[in-house]
Chains A and B, each alone.
Chain A
Amino acid sequence: MESGSPQDDGLLVDPVRAEVIHVPTEGESGPAALLPESVEPERSPSPMAVALRHPAARVGLVVIAALVVFSYIGPLIWSASPNDTDLLVILQPPSSVHPFGTDDVGRDVLARMMVGGQVSLNIGVAAAALGCAIGVVYGAISGFAGGRLDSVMMRFVDGMLAIPVLVLLIVLAAAFRPNQLLLILVISLTSWLIPARLIRAGTLSMKSQDFIKASQAMGSTSTRTLRRHVLPNSVGIIVVNATFQVADAILLVAYLSFLGLGIPPPTATWGGIMSTGISYINEQAWWLIYFPGLAILLAVVAFNYLGDTVRDAYDVTAR
């Protein structure tokens, strides 16, 4: 059944094989020999393990790990301060003293990139986790309850989806002074809609399956069935969606910072550094555009790679 790569191997010694199984009573009823009903020794690894075998997933993981090391461990090694200005060395191209160059007030771009990475990853991961959590609970309840409650809950999602996220963020950023926590909240409050829909669809299709019916027939409460059967079987959908959400959130943070509506200065952000670069495009400060641009690209692509392969792995094992 598990197509993908076949795992069974008829030659493995199997503990279950070695034991007596069915005991036919009288000789009338079948061959007298008591022989084991053999077990197919088929072990299929978890879809996650399958996904991680894929080169694209590995590339994604390595890039993500590199970005994490760069952003969080980097500042411990690279002692330059991200916020110290030095007007003597403004807009310096990369050199041995400043490997990524300096910006318009002489701050070290490498150090700022590291801090910017922290901001991006913090907000991306936290917003995705929060958004998925909200979406999963909402979608599972909606799908499992069905009927009128489901209709109402889904119409609300449709309504929310009609609001353009970027516009909403711009309005909010103009009204409040953004900080990391606020951005996380706002992004997750808009990003839960997609996982909610996905989980609802998954729950609906799962609801008609016999093992859900079986758990009802055993007298399981709806909450328990949701918790023990529906959610664990939705892990694939959730994980896949979460990785895409991280990528989206990182991109969104970059947009906002680029537009000057993100985390306010002096905190460094990738979008903010790029924005400075654009202002000095005539001075050909390419290092202010290329380095953060590359970082954003790498982060987004890496998370998407990972999500894609995990999704493929779950598709393969899906019945």
Chain B
Amino acid sequence: MTDPLLQLDHVRVRYRTRRMSFKGAVVYTDAVRDVSLELGEGQTLALVGESGSGKSTTARVAVALERPTSGRVLFDGNDLALIGRAQLRDLRSQFQIVFQDPHSSLDSRMQVLDLIAEPLVIHKWGNTGSREARVHQLLDEVGLPRATTGRQPHQLSGGQRQRVAIARALALNPRLIVADEPVSALDVSVRAQILNLLSDLQKQHNLSYLMVSHDLALVNHTAQFVAVMFRGSIVESGPCDQVITSPAHPYTRALVEAVPSPDPAMVSPAGTVRESAEHASGLGCQYANRCPQARGTCFDTAPPVVELQLGRSVACHFPLVAGTTTAPTTSTPNTGA
């Protein structure tokens, strides 16, 4: 077994939030509680979850935009916290990030040429002429005409801006690209173009993707592996097709059921997820408040991570899938909402 390209090892990210009180007591919030994941060369791992699940924070930790409070981030065997600043800066050429909104991720004053050449300039790659040639080559790769170089982001459509962001991420031939909701700010008809582009580039360059998304259907098309996050923890992970066809965690199942189908004949019955604005106590399962099948233990003991099969694990006291079988269980009678 070769070493994974990216490895997150019990990563925790804790923010300090000062509560408005006279005591000024400091309160901590865990954006990411305890996340461990691995991503191999040439693979795609999707992080799925609702807003506030910590998926974006995890992605930012993976590209060293954020420091974990505890735990380790290893890129190609290098612990990002241990290597020096200069070394980290060098290493950054190997992992890049594409943000959700290409409007805010591109400096609006700059021209496309300078935007795409920026990583090259930072890493002192080539001279002006060779950089321009590289930019042209990148534009070809992402399917933009070379005439785009003289434009500013606001003169481009959303899809084109995202292509520029992708070209910029590719400039230094990275091995890993973290894509934080790369298409959710785009129009429906343009999303497929960008997703296809990402998948073509992956094949050409043997790229690894860590993709953040809230859309399970989209993940189903793009990722081999998926990790479902809920309130800072990974509740289920494994090969994408298995997780989607037979979810083991009740939250994953809720997500699968929530994916709206465009076929009116396929409309799923009314929801089974309970809504709650209250956060669970720190002790038990974070999902217990909303889980339709929570029992006593769920509220006072955190569920252990159980490995169902090789590469597939779930953090639930009562997983919907028993170990080693893939048969979907249709347990728990649902009595609607």
Direct chain A–B contact by Cβ atoms under 8 Å: yes
Interface residues of A (CB under 8 A from B): 1-2, 15-16, 19-25, 29-30, 36-44, 209-211, 213-221, 224, 228-229, 232-233, 319
B96 touches A39 (CB 8 A): no
From A30, A40, A217, give the contact of B157 (CB < 8 A).
A40
Which of B90, B143, B197 has the most chain A CB atoms closer than 10 A to its own CB? Answer: B143
If A213-B60, A232-B109 are given as contacts, then 19 extra A-B residue pairs at C-beta distance below 8 Å, sorted by A number, are A1-B103, A1-B154, A2-B154, A15-B145, A21-B143, A22-B197, A30-B196, A37-B160, A39-B156, A39-B160, A211-B106, A213-B97, A214-B165, A218-B122, A218-B168, A219-B90, A219-B122, A220-B118, A228-B118
Specify which chain A residues have a CB less than 8 angstroms from the CB of B108 in the assembled complex.
Answer: 211, 233
Contacting pair A39 B155 (CB below 8 A): yes
**CB of B292 within 8 Å of the partner chain:** no
Beta-carbon contact of B157 and A16 below 8 Å: no
Contact (A233, B159) CB under 8 Å given A15-B147, A42-B154, A219-B93: no
Query: Is there an interface contact between A25 and B192, defined as CB atoms closer than 8 Å?
Result: no
Q: How far is the CB of A171 from chain B (nearest CB, A)?
A: 39
Q: Out of B100, B119, B143, B200, which one reaches A218, CB within 8 Å?
A: B119
Q: Which residues of B contact A219 (CB under 8 A)?
A: 88-90, 92-93, 119, 122-123
- Pair B155/A210 contact, Cβ less than 8 Å: no
Bound-complex Cα distance A21 to B142 (A): 9
In the bound assembly, the distance between CA atoms of A44 and B64 in angstroms comes to 36
Closest to A21 in B: B143
Known: A1-B103, A16-B148. A214 touches B89 (CB 8 A): no
- A217: which of B96, B104, B197 is its contact (CB, 8 Å)? B96
Residues A21 and B145 in contact, CB atoms below 8 Å apart: yes
Mask for B109-122, Cβ within 8 A of A = 1, else 0?
Answer: 10000000011001
B65 at the interface (CB under 8 A from A): yes
Q: Can you show 17 pairs from A to B with CB atoms below 8 A apart?
A: A24-B196, A37-B143, A37-B193, A39-B151, A39-B156, A40-B155, A41-B155, A44-B154, A210-B100, A211-B105, A211-B107, A211-B108, A215-B122, A216-B65, A218-B92, A232-B107, A319-B104
Q: In the complex, what residue of chain B is closest to A209 when comparing beta carbons?
A: B104
Q: A17 CB to closest chain B CB, in angstroms?
A: 9
The reply to whether B99 and A213 contact each other, CB–CB distance below 8 Å, is: yes
* Contact (Cβ within 8 A) B92 A217: yes
Which B residue's beta carbon lies closest to that of A229?
Answer: B107
Please tell me if B321 contacts chain A, counting CB pairs below 8 Å. Answer: no
Size category of the B interface is: 35 or more
Distance of A40 Cα from B104 Cα, bound (Å): 18
Chain B residue contacts of A218, Cβ below 8 A: 92, 96, 118-119, 122-123, 168
Residues in A neighbouring B93, C-beta threshold 8 A? 219
* Most chain B CB atoms below 10 A, which of A25, A40, A224: A40
Query: Smallest Cβ distance from A146 to chain B, in angstroms?
Result: 13
Interface centre among B64, B118, B123, by most A CB within 10 Å?
B118
Interface membership of B144, Cβ < 8 A: yes
Report chain B residues within 8 Å CB of A24. 196
Partner of A43, one of B119, B155, B200: B155
- CB B141 to nearest CB in A, in angstroms, measures 10
B13 near A: Cβ within 8 Å? no
Closest to B105 in A: A210
* B63 interface residue (CB < 8 Å to A): yes
Hey, which chain B residues are within 8 Å of A228, CB to CB?
Answer: 118
B145 touches A20 (CB 8 A): yes
Q: How far is the CB of A245 from chain B (nearest CB, A)?
A: 24
Q: How far is the CB of A206 from chain B (nearest CB, A)?
A: 10
Q: A43-B155, A214-B97 are in contact. Are A30 and B92 (CB under 8 A)?
A: no
CA distance A38 to B168 in the complex (A): 21
Interface string of B43-65 (1 = CB under 8 A from A): 00000000000000000100111
User: Chain B residue with minimal CB distance to A217?
Assistant: B97
In the complex, what distance in Å separates the CA atom of A215 from the CA atom of B148? 21
- Residue in A21, A44, A217 with the greatest tally of chain B CB atoms within 10 Å: A217
- Given the complex, which residues of B lie within 8 Å of A15, measured CB to CB? 145, 147
Interface: B101 (CB within 8 A): yes
Q: Nearest chain B CB to A77's CB is how many angstroms away?
A: 43
B156 touches A40 (CB 8 A): yes
- Nearest neighbor of B89 in chain A, beta-carbon distance: A219
A16 engages B105 (CB within 8 Å): no
- In the bound complex, do residue B157 and residue A23 qualify as a contact, i.e. CB atoms below 8 Å apart? no
Residue of B nearest to A14 (CB): B147
Across the two chains, which residue of chain B brings its CB closest to A20? Answer: B145
Q: Are A29 and B196 in contact (CB under 8 A)?
A: yes
Decide if B109 touches A233 in the complex (CB within 8 Å).
yes
Q: Which residues of B are found within 8 Å of A44, using beta-carbon distances? A: 154
Could you mark each residue 255-289 of chain B with 1 if its beta carbon is under 8 Å from any beta carbon of chain A, else 0?
Answer: 00000000000000000000000000000000000
A210, B160: Cα distance in complex, Å: 17
The 4 closest A-B pairs by CB, nearest first: A219-B92, A210-B105, A19-B145, A22-B143
List the A residue with the shortest CB-CB distance to B101: A210
Of all chain A residues, which has the CB nearest B192?
A: A30
Is B155 within 8 A of A21, CB to CB? no
| From B64, B100, B107, B157, contact of A39 by CB (8 A) | B157
Chain B CB within 10 Å, residue with most, of A22, A29, A220: A22
> Which B183-209 residues have a C-beta within 8 angstroms of A?
190, 192-193, 196-197, 200
Give per-residue flags for B129-168: 1 if the beta carbon is below 8 A from chain A beta carbons, else 0: 0000000000000011101100100111101100001001
**Interfacial chain A residues near B147, Cβ < 8 Å:** 15-16, 19
A221 to B90 CA separation, bound complex (whole angstroms): 11
Give B194's nearest chain A residue, CB to CB: A22
Closest chain A residue to B99, Cβ basis = A210
CB distance from B186 to the nearest CB of A (A): 12
| Structural contact, B105 and A214, CB atoms closer than 8 A | yes
Are the CB atoms of A214 and B99 closer together than 8 Å?
yes
Inter-chain contacts of B122 with A (CB < 8 A): 215, 218-220, 224
A38 to B145, CA, bound (A): 11
Chain B residue at minimum C-beta to C-beta distance from A211: B107
Residues of A within 8 A of B159 (CB): 37
